[in-house]
Amino acid sequence: MLESCSGSVTTGAVITTTTNGQQEQDEDDNEVEDDDNEAEDDECSSSNNEQQKSLSERNQQRCFRPDSGFLRHLLFFFNPTYTTDVSVLVETCRLLLEFVRDTGDVVSLFAGTEYASNNHVLVVRYRVKKFVHACIRAVYGNRNKLRDQLFVESAILLLDAVKLLIDSSLPWACSTVTYLLQGNIYSLFREIVLIVKDRSCPASNRVVSSFECVIALISSHIGQSTCTCPSVDPQCCFLSQVLTIPFLWQFFPHLKEIFASSSVSRHYFHHMTLCMKGHVNVLPPDIAIDLPGYACLLGNLLEVARLAFAQPEPFTMAVDFATAATFLLEALPSLQSSNMGSKEMSEDEMVIDDEQTEKVLNLGLEQQITNAIDPRFLLQLTTVLLGGFSPLNGSYNGQLDEKHVAAVTAVCAFLHATFNILPLERIMTVLAYRTELVPVLWNFMKQCHENQKWSSLSAQSPYLPADAPGWLIPLSVFCPVYKHMLMIVDNEEFYEQEKPLSLKDIRCLIVILRQALWQLLWLNPTLPANFGKSANDVFAMKKHPLEFLQHRVCVVASELLSQLQDWNNRRQFTLPSEFHADGVNEYFISQATMENTRANDILKQAPFLVPFTSRAKIFTSQLAAVRERNGSQGLFARHRFRIRRDHILEDAFNQLNALSEEDLRGLIRVTFVNELGVEEAGIDGGGIFKDFMENITRAAFDVQYGLFKATEDHLLYPNPGSGLIHDQHLQYFHFLGTVLAKAMFEGILVDIPFATFFLSKLKQKYNYLNDLPSLDPELYRHLIFLKHYEGDVSDLELYFVIVNNEYGEQTEEELLPGGKSIRVTNENVITFIHLIANHRLNFQIRQQSSHFLRGFQQLIQKEWIDMFNEHELQLLISGSLDGIDIDDLRAHTNYTGGYHKEHYVVDMFWEVVKNLSLENQRKFLKFVTGCSRGPLLGFKYLEPLFCIQRAGGNASEEALDRLPTSATCMNLLKFPPYRSKEQMEQKLLYAINADAGFDLS
């Protein structure tokens, strides 16, 4: 990373290699300098009085003309700290400019008395560079006088003379520029600029203009093909000394255009890349604590990059730019204007350490950086780097070469750094829909995966160690951009049109993401404990850039895989097992049940890697552990409910709401009162409570009650108009959330088919357009028609409003402030479509969902629910919709009272049960266990196990007239030994359909 210098800075060796011609030229210059010095010494020794005469007196004695020796004396005696000397130099510059303007002759003027000699060319070259340097030193030495109007005119003359003499067409241009560079001229320029750019300077525009031309001539000289200047110390170069000046282009717009030219920008971007790759510290001390040099450099480079990329053949230059800019971006502190989350630190992070103390950028500098990285710039950068590798480009041969790798690495590294400092919503849409980023990256990743080329990618990347996985950089960018596309794409585009990726490619992508996650999280874990859990990840990124990248890939890959699993649940295009990691075994499961283990972290971060049945086992074990800690496995209940069957909802609401959260975790026992006011027979050992839970959920979630509505597929979701029916509707939603949580907490399955978009609210997820068909397929079809409408949408006379119709009351709501006046057009129709979907799926039921969630989370922790997607959550609530597995029930049944598994009555019994309708099978199961649905993981997990006991003694007529009875608290069926299947079926059906409460128990 680049860092600001303080004091002395050690850098790499200075490259001083020159061409042979340049070496000869320098040797000639040295000879001329020696001759001039000898002549000056002779003249000085001839007369002590002559040495003391001022330059003004000399100027009076000698005229500045081609045959004069005045210039030689001026250069020898000149001292920029003497006002008189500077005045003489200024007057000389005025005469020089006039002479050249009139004659066009520079050589004879600088040759002076040596014009006739054979080496006058060398003399001119030597004196020009000395004269130019003297002029710049004069301006530098008097830079504080630039506030004085009197010195402004002098400074302009000095700078105009410099402009004249360093013109690239002159034969001594390289010699002069080399001399200036070796004299650290840019450090002088830096100090002058910091004064000149002060707007309070009188006539500053004129000084800036002249000074800008001087800097432009020198800085652009090196980028020319004819230049033979040697390389200079990076600490003294244009990049470090001038481009680190804050907001440089505001004062030097012409210099900005010069720098953006192809040859100049290509040279400096490449030079900067070499420094960045070697982590060379080349920057001068910061101007201010909130204006660090590296950030000022970044701001200036970003601002000029758009002009540079518009030049011919910008590919190589863009690679160098992206490479260098990435290092600078990663060095930035948190930006005040970005939504990076809370900047609060935990006690562990509050250490007294310079590295930990976060700096804050100057707001203007921050705005310069963030404004430069706008959608247009990102579109331009990705187009320059990736345009040649687009699948739509007929010239692309589909092969991976160094150029391809360089482009992908550069653009992905730059975007990865950008994602960490800018709000994603600002830049993600342009990357997803206006660039070829997704198809190009996908084809690149697919080729690397199929040809096992990942290692070559990391070997060529300047950001990764050679042994790091090569897919880290591409995945860090591809995943969030493709995830954004999936939030906008509709079902027809995804499934039928297979956009933006084919279903075959998505299946391959799932494999890549699954393997990458499993390697990072389990096989080769390298992340420190609790890495990335800090509220401020910028510190983690600076201290551990590779670990931060790995953490980032884990997060975005997990989010994308979860989203692809949602699409697969809507309409299956691959086997659910394709999301499961290959290495999940019993050891992993045992580790996953324990907190602060890596397996447990995987379960939280990427639960889809673990098969559903394994996660369900972990979930049930977690619930059992909590129940045991809260004493709910004890014999005595702390609370008993007396529930009237004809007022079950009201009684349950009043009694359950009176319990604290701790009480809710304990045992609750129920006594039912029938319509006659008589308590029903039976002691609640758990079975009556199961029946209570089934009955209360059936009543409360019935659409006739008005709290919930049903979709066309008979799936339940909160009624947006519930407040029109019940004054206490929000309290009831809180209550129903608690009821559902209590059922899950006790392991009781209830027959409540929820709509997927409502189950998302239990996971605190946001619903998107592709979820709308489950709520309102007709509205979805209309919106898709709008999305693909080829005409002028404004002709349809639509506005940003939506009409709600609840129980005959129509209300109009604006989707945006002032929406009644905002017409839907081709430009904003996509926004309109998603605002409509958001209103129906999220906004309308936000209050009901929020209160339901609060009640639900009293018993069911969020991290438990986060282990499951919406489809799996429905299984946790209701069990499988495929029916009851009678064979599984039979395999896990105990027998007592003389029955055994091969008894003829038992054989008949199972034949009868297996031939019952699904509805009667559920009634039978409820009759025996108190719940109409079997255990989530199979009947071997039923506690206690299903048991059939012989009833009625011998097969007497009196015994055979008895009905089957049950003890639901023990899952016990008391069954007489009927003689025929017909009689057995008749008695069984009568018992399970009697609806006699627990009077037959």
Partnered with residue 966 across adjacent β-strands are: 973
Q: Which among 214, 314, 333, 212 is positioned nearest to 269, based on CA atoms? A: 314
Q: What is the dihedral of CA 426, 429, 432, 434, to 10 degrees?
A: -110
The answer to whether the CB of 840 falls within 8 A of the CB of 771 is no
403: how many CB neighbours lie within 10 A of its CB? 13
CB-based contact 551:516 (threshold 8 Å): no
* SS3 state at 710: strand
Burial 961-996 (b: 16+ CB within 10 A, else e): ebbbbbbbbbbbbbbbbbeeeeebbebbbebbeeee
Structural element, H or E, at residue 670 = strand 668-673
**Both structure tokens of 883:** 């029916």
Closest CA to 436 of 500, 502, 487: 500
- Token digits for 934? 């079997």
Question: What is the rounded CA–CA span in Å between residue 651 and residue 645?
Answer: 9
The catalytically annotated residue of 229, 237, 448, 969 is 969
Half-sphere exposure of 725 (CA within 13 A, CB side): 18
Residues 652, 655, 656, 658, Cα dihedral to 10°? 160
Task: Give the sign of the dihedral formed by CA 74, CA 75, CA 77, CA 78.
Answer: positive
| 429 and 493 Cβ atoms separated by less than 8 Å | no
Angle at 81 between CA 76 and CA 84, to 5 degrees: 75
Q: φ and ψ at 904, to 5 degrees?
A: -65, -35
Type of residue numbered 12: G
**What is the C-alpha separation between 880 and 105, in angstroms, rounded?**
98
Is 296 annotated in the active site? Answer: no
CB-based contacts of 869, cutoff 8 Å, min separation 6:
562, 565, 566, 569, 608, 763
Tokens matching residue 955:
């097969």
Angle, in degrees to the nearest 10, between helices 293-309 and 262-277: 140
How distant, in Å, are the alpha carbons of 180, 590, 599, 751, 872 from that of 615?
Answer: 71, 11, 12, 21, 10
Q: Are 506 and 573 in contact (CB under 8 A)?
A: yes
Bridge pairing between strands 708-710 and 716-718: antiparallel
By residue count, the chain amounts to 1001
Q: Could you give phi then psi for residue 717, rounded to 5 degrees?
A: -155, 160
Strand 668-673 and strand 965-967: the pairing is unpaired
- Planar angle of CA 237, 241, 243, nearest 5 degrees: 100
Amino acid found at 347 = E
181 and 232 Cβ atoms separated by less than 8 Å: yes
DSSP strand pairing (972-975 vs 946-950) = parallel
Active site residues: 969
